[in-house]
Amino acid sequence: MTTRLAGRRILITGASRGLGAAVAASFAAEGAHLALTATTRDHLAPVIRDIGETGREALALGVDLRDPTAIAAAARETLAGLGGLDVIVVNAGLLGYRGPLLDCPPGVWDDVLAVTVDGTFHLLRALVPEMEDGGAIILVTSGAAGRPDWGAYGVSRAALNAQAAMLRAELEDRDIRVVAVNPGPARTQMRADAYPDEDPQTVPEPAELTGAFLAIAAGGDPGPFVEIPEWRARTESSAS
């Protein structure tokens, strides 16, 4: 059994399904000590069960990322439960609405920005000072960042890219690698909501997209921004 992440203490947000659940499973298989978040602990039960069947354990945290007080409590529980922190994967986010920016309903705008932008800020503000030097922060972004007709989602992902770029420079003296990762198309519920007419069989399963996450968490630094389809093509080409 490979253990590239043996001893690494890792928090993954939005881990109850889709890409977050796939990354959690791959990290557990590589020996990581995990804390996983979702809006409720119950949503994480299948993921925790599957990890348990492999002989690993994970800490389940229910947290509303719109609530700074809940985020602070989850940060404390993460640090206490893992005994420290080496890697953060920020995967949680909302699609909310796909359409022209100024047609976005105000309530949807508020929720999407509160979870993806504000939630990320408050989470990192609580955890990064306690992280080990030499760790990594992975922010899951999207090719929809800043693109027209993606409403608050496009704005929120552009904001994540900006946060990643700023933090990468600001944390360089601690050797904390900050990488924005665009997974590209994936067979997730969010993708289905965004592209209701797409055949899901034409896009990869999330489990096929975890290699770049593993490489970064294990100590690699592919640069400030990674497009997983391009990363997979390069790694598969070099392996052949």
Three-state DSSP at 199 gives coil
Parallel, antiparallel, or unpaired: how do β-strands 136-140 and 33-38 relate? unpaired
Annotated active-site residue 195? The verdict is: no
> How many angstroms separate the CA atoms of 226 and 155, rounded?
19
The one-letter amino acid code at 224 reads P
Q: Which of 17, 13, 19, 15 is nearest to 204 (CA)?
A: 19
Rounded Cα gap, residues 60 and 58, in angstroms: 6
As given in the structure block, the two tokens for residue 206 are 């999330």
Helix axes 45-53, 18-29, angle to 10 degrees: 20
Which tokens hold the place of 210? 């975890």
CA atoms within 13 A on the CB side of 144: 22
The residue from 97, 109, 150, 153 that is catalytic is 153
In this structure, what are the phi and psi dihedrals at residue 48, rounded to the nearest 5 degrees?
Answer: -60, -40
Token representation of residue 43: 């949503």
- Cβ-contact 2, 30 below 8 angstroms: yes
Catalytic positions: 153
